[in-house]
Amino acid sequence: MPSSVQRKRIRKSPADRRAEIVEAAASVALTEGLECITLRRIGEQLGVRPGLISHYFPAVEDLVAEAFGSAASAELDRLIPAERPDGTPTEHLARFFAQATGEAYDDMSRLWINARHLRRYWPVLRDRVGVQEDAWVGRLSGLLRAGVERGEFRTADPEVVAMQILVAIDGLGAYTNAVIDNCPPAVKLMPLTTAERELGLPSGALIRTTPN
């Protein structure tokens, strides 16, 4: 007869357990939406009682904000690394556009739309969205500033251009997420063409330098 072996429960540190909860909540946020984050739902995801989740996050609003912040920060680090690898600012910006305006970014785009809607009701989430918006502008404007210093870009205000680019990306995301088919190429390329125009780049410069 097969013997039953009792699995030894491994007690995780508070920091590890909290990180695990946030990671699970971020996953639910990306695939199902922020509204689907509940103590019960995350407990089921991790195979623990909801009471354990509430021990770390007594208010579900705090977990929702933390989940959004975690997902947004991870995406920012992937798209615009704080420590950029070898390559020119133009190459890094082209890489950013290649990844931030494709289908792979759709889940994150939906999450931003979701968070900006819900922040009207949850002050904690509103504050977290503001922090993430500032972080994205800061990281992107830093890349643009590096391009100006190298003589690749021409603009007197990298921060304003960064905002223009992000507004164009957000607008495109809202448009495509409305399930409108056959989006014209000129519309799909608006964030990229906005960057080329505002940075003094020739048309197609970012497309030509987009890494594989």
**What does the pLDDT look like over 174-186, one tens digit per residue?**
776 665 556 777 8
Exposed/middle/buried for 133, CB within 10 Å: 0-12, 13-18, 19+?
Answer: middle
Q: What is the dihedral sign for C-alpha 193, 198, 204, 208?
A: negative
Identity of the amino acid at 180: I
Question: If you ran DSSP here, which 8-state letter would residue 103 be given?
Answer: G
Residue 211 has pLDDT above 50, yes or no: no
Note the pLDDT tens digit of each residue in 31-55: 999 999 999 999 999 999 999 999 9
Residue scoring higher pLDDT (90 or 176): 90
As a whole number, mean pLDDT of residues 103-131 equals 91
Which residues lie below 8 Å from residue 40, measured CB to CB, with a gap of 6+? 50
Report yes or no: 175 and 186 within 8 Å, Cβ to Cβ: no
